[in-house]
Structure 1
């Protein structure tokens, strides 16, 4: 019948039915996908989960000592003198509470916040905690001391292998506390070794954040013991770790909400220590309920906001902001080193490993305590306030300057050769030359008269910028300089830099300008550009000045000699040519002298003969004169510096009569 189904059932191996759905129970999800619950590069984080529990006991006021032992067999023990994990039967689950803590993903004493809860402030609400440590350990021994009894429980891969055993406390036993010894399972981690630097930093920070609590690290292999106890807390810690000297004394303080606060729960708030330095890498550490938040978060943003608002209002009150400078939070924060410890009743973290705090209210919480405290402090110490304002304003000016940096114009990641560049055919930089030609008309003649194989022409429009005092990052704002750099294939650099010369496109970079005062000026401006921003081109002998003639002398035929033409660079050469004609018997006035007003007046053929032809041209290599680099720089500053008019006048008065110039 047509109504019968013709669809065949698939084989049992690929059947998708009710039985295909697998329910991961207990700690199976952690073992299947450990990366979702913890860091898998090394076992530090699963040890930290146990450490955080010990710290929470101290934070709640029930413990004064935390001890971490690195055993010779690769296991790690964490001991505290808190109240001990309860080991009676859970009323609903009918299992010892200590067993549930280590075997259930969402079991713990931190969900019941506020009045009557065991923990008002603790490191998070994910509840996966030590059960992840248990799941990823080959063996875990948990021992709890409380109410005159000791209870021990042993797990393997998250499963109970030795059920709960209770006994009365003996003479050598502690009164109360918890000891957890874990053997991390190497198969879950890229490296089974604990990063010692991170571990010691973590333990030290716990001591910093809990003044009066003693934290000890014992390494059985090396027989070393380290101990930390900070009575003065954050201030001591920041002072010891700072890179550089503070510009003003440390700004420290704390603020916590009382029972009358409408916005925050009682006890929420922060304590902080902030130092401002001019140099050195800033030290920045933040914590929420003693959990290190290495990626920062909303509490860091609150500190940043509080500092910025206070400094900005101080600057406005005292009228310190220069015209055109706009202050941003980063300008105040850029040179700030700090240790921040926030207490948040119900912290929300990004990801299970709690690297970043996401609680939105934390911005307002921290800022509301930091801002008024800093405003008051700055106005009580105006001199220090002005120093801090100066630091922030300087940062703003540097930022604005950097924001004006002009990059090469690029297409598909490659600098685009300027459209007005007429390139040569050869790629051999031993023979290639580029002529930087003054003016479009001269550029036209040069293009027609050049050797296309090895000579490139880049016409320049108008006077080039005086770049002696132009910041390197701003050079490309000028089109001509941008085009010169791109055409040559070398980026601007300083005398002590090592620029990439592998992209140099021409062996000779030749300045070609008119043989008059304006031409000389353009020549000087280009030499200034190259000496200041492309010194390695000069050092490597790539820069030249082409010398076009100023005069042309046409002589008539004389005897066997046919009519001829000769070119003179200047008046001296002109005199020498005329003297020779006289000796050759040319009658006085029998020759005619033409003067070139500029390169644009020369035909392509004349330009080739006089200036471009390697056999007949005059090409001067540019190199440092009798002065060294520093001496040349001083002289150039006198000649080209903006504030050096008096020095230039003195030079002209001294040497003005030694120069013959046709103005």
Structure 2
């Protein structure tokens, strides 16, 4: 705690200075944590998602979005209407709670009696964020023979609930929400029309038979989308080249007898393979567009690759010396993928990437058998697809060999403890710098020998912040790292020869505890100080191993299972999911990994090495530029900087979690 000269606490720090943000205050204080602030599209999307959820649950056939002349936007649906009776515990109208509480809504009530089985994810912030960031918001809900209306401003009720009986000829059910987004929260108040129309069109694509209309009062234009044919209809209209083989379309969902997945979970997909043109790739989870992809896309890639690979093996089509990789099949694929996942986990507040690990197996388990069957029923098309994939593999291998020849002269002897990979394709290869020999042993056994190399490091690496470049190699570990990756140490203004780089990804893999974090910092210091061009070119990554394992008992038809989670937040979400599946409170056990050495080779592969299910963070300069970052690291890592470090701790000490 900082003290003033007299040794007393600063006088302005008292009970009254601790702020508890109530209701929607946190959203107004930090809108960027809850939504995109470049424009109001995402807050409108929250309202749209609710209308789509009604249609998805089978209760609506029409969604209409109107851009009014006064810059407000309204969304109208013919769903069931939001209930407006009093909530039994909160003693306030339900519709009011939905718009004024961060964690309220029908989507939390999962299971047999829940109103929604599948919905656009569970950040649980939803339309209350739209309300908090709007100057005015009006809701009219029609249900049970009545219409109820209320209005808000900045998240507060300004016109309380009014209920009236419906008149003859009025629509029977549905909700209309009209919002006036508050310009002060957004960089621009204008909605990006291209993104909005794309979003509306995609909703229509994913819900065949539901009509989506956009009315623009200023330009007096109306657009309507209705796709009877669903995904294939849409993909054919957006493709950039001619498909080599007919479109592969399918869908698969778990029934109530499925062992590993909840009833209704699954995917619909349509895939086209073209020889040229930019591939079209769109994926959705519970109708939410996942622009950054995620584990459901990995499942599609996995399913396509394994089906094509088994077809090639069955018909002995692979030329000698050619090794097929997933991207050889995937490179020319255009697709639209719509997955349904119960309680999806997303990365980022606006849900642009799906993180749920089970989604890889879920999608792959439906795609692979369907494509295998199709290819073996249409052998000629199968051979055309195989030809396309083999051609891609040969091109890739030729490119890898060219680089190899250039590097052939005067190669340094690789360090003895490096377990190298078999492939010579730099773009695909990865090296993991692993803390400790025991973890190194598990990693060697669990890795993909083809493309993953392991370099175990003994003990803590030297703090190299103030070490002269030509003295670096006196340290064995650093010498080994430099020789293994094939790049010499350099400064920020040098132009090092990166043609010798042996791995496209250099991954730091350390325990999830305090010592592991220290080793991670020492290695990041080494790369930032002595290999800055590797970071600049995007070759350095940090692997994030899980911190907890949950052993869940058998439940119903689901066998006992082990679930790995990254941190406290994921732990809470996973336990919630178990409760919803009917697991008795406390019948699971939670163990915390002290280190990677505790994991078996299989566990390490599944959680940390497998490209489909691991979490790998690219290392980049954040909001600070190179010079500012350098100054900050000097404070943290410099030898004579104890006073500066102390000041940093005093300023930010309360933001640090201490692991004891």
Shared fold (TM-score, shorter chain, > 0.5): yes
Residue pairs, 1:397-408, within 5 angstroms: 397-406=394-403
- Of 211, 215, 238, 1:241 maps to 238
Correspondence for 1:33:
30
Correspondence for 1:207:
204
TM-superposed deviation, 1:177: 0.4
d(CA) in 2 for partners of 1:177 and 1:149?
Answer: 11
Correspondence for 1:137:
134
Normalising by structure 1, we get a TM-score of 0.60
- SS of the residue aligned with 1:110? helix
- SS of the residue aligned with 1:339? strand
Correspondence for 2:170:
173
TM-superposed deviation, 1:179: 0.4
Residue pairs, 1:176-575, within 5 angstroms: 176-406=173-403
TM-superposed deviation, 1:170: 1.8
d(CA) in 2 for partners of 1:11 and 1:293?
Answer: 48
Runs (4+) off by over 6 Å = none
- Of 32, 39, 43, 2:40 maps to 43
- SS of the residue aligned with 1:406? helix
d(CA) in 2 for partners of 1:406 and 1:52?
Answer: 49
TM-superposed deviation, 1:351: 1.9
Correspondence for 1:507:
none
CA RMSD of superposed structures (Å):
1.8
Correspondence for 1:153:
150
- SS of the residue aligned with 2:47? helix
1:9 matched to 2:12? The reply is no
TM-superposed deviation, 1:166: 1.0
- SS of the residue aligned with 1:35? helix
TM-superposed deviation, 1:8: 4.3
Higher Rg of the two aligned structures: 1
d(CA) in 2 for partners of 1:31 and 1:94?
Answer: 25
d(CA) in 2 for partners of 1:404 and 1:143?
Answer: 66
1:105 matched to 2:105? The reply is no
Deviates more, 1:387-396 or 1:172-181: 172-181
Deviates more, 1:251-260 or 1:345-354: 345-354
d(CA) in 1 for partners of 2:196 and 2:395?
Answer: 38
d(CA) in 2 for partners of 1:351 and 1:396?
Answer: 34
Residue pairs, 1:48-127, within 5 angstroms: 48-127=45-124
- SS of the residue aligned with 1:404? helix
1:6 and 1:34, CA in 2 relative to 1: closer, same or farther beyond 3 A? closer
TM-superposed deviation, 1:346: 1.4
Q: What do residues 107-147 of structure 1 show as CA deviations (whole Å, max 9, x unaligned)? A: 01001112110001111111100000001111100110111
TM-superposed deviation, 1:171: 3.2
TM-superposed deviation, 1:16: 2.3
d(CA) in 2 for partners of 1:7 and 1:191?
Answer: 49
Q: What do residues 200-225 of structure 1 show as CA deviations (whole Å, max 9, x unaligned)? A: 11111111111110100000000000
Unaligned runs of 5+ in 1: 410-485, 492-663
d(CA) in 2 for partners of 1:6 and 1:199?
Answer: 58
- SS of the residue aligned with 2:403? coil
d(CA) in 2 for partners of 1:404 and 1:169?
Answer: 75
1:405 and 1:169, CA in 2 relative to 1: closer, same or farther beyond 3 A? farther
d(CA) in 2 for partners of 1:96 and 1:404?
Answer: 69
Q: What do residues 48-83 of structure 1 show as CA deviations (whole Å, max 9, x unaligned)? A: 000000000000000000000000110000000000
Correspondence for 2:19:
22
TM-superposed deviation, 1:392: 0.5
- SS of the residue aligned with 2:278? coil
Number of aligned positions between the proteins: 405
d(CA) in 1 for partners of 2:169 and 2:139?
Answer: 18
Correspondence for 1:450:
none
d(CA) in 1 for partners of 2:235 and 2:251?
Answer: 15
